[in-house]
Amino acid sequence: MRTFLPAVAEQLFRDIQKIYEETTQTLTLPSSRLRRLKFVFGTCALQALDLVDQRSVTCLSSPSGRKAFQVIGGSGRLYTCFLSCHYCPCPAFTYTVLRRNQGLLCKHILAVYLCQAMAVTQQESVSDQQMSAVLSGTGGP
């Protein structure tokens, strides 16, 4: 479970997941959930939803069970995010979350959570060797 997020954020992701499990809607959230996302996560909520709409999130998984998420940012840059330790290498995460403590997460990590809740995360299997390269920052699939 997401141990780094407040209970209100956890519940919001569960609500979104329930909406997508119970309906056949594709990437459409009720306005009440959109308002809640914006309230909890601020301006990065809309940016994260844009990344979701663009199908920018891929979950890499290896035979050993390791997982990493790669998100193609709005500028086209690839960010490798880790939910297990709540980390993204983007400048916004470093500045807003780590240095200033002004946000819970960046748009890339929020996009990962949203894609998982909406069941729209792209999946890619990689070898353990490829995963090691991704995790060390020396390469990727």
Return the pLDDT at 73. 92
Reduced to 3 states (helix: H, G, I; strand: E, B; else coil), residue 45 is helix
- Is residue 48 within 8 Å of residue 103, measured between CB atoms? no
Q: Which residues contact 38 (CB under 8 A, 6 or more apart)?
A: 45, 46
CB atoms inside a 10 Å sphere around CB 101 = 8
Q: What is the mean pLDDT of residues 47-54?
A: 93
Q: What is the mean pLDDT of residues 41-62?
A: 93
This prediction has a pTM of 0.83
User: Tokens for 97?
Assistant: 């979350």
CA distance 90 to 79: 7
Check whether 94 has a pLDDT greater than 80: yes
Return the pLDDT at 1. 38
Check whether 27 has a pLDDT greater than 60: no
Question: Model confidence at 3, in pLDDT bands (50, 70, 90)?
Answer: very low
Return the pLDDT at 70. 96
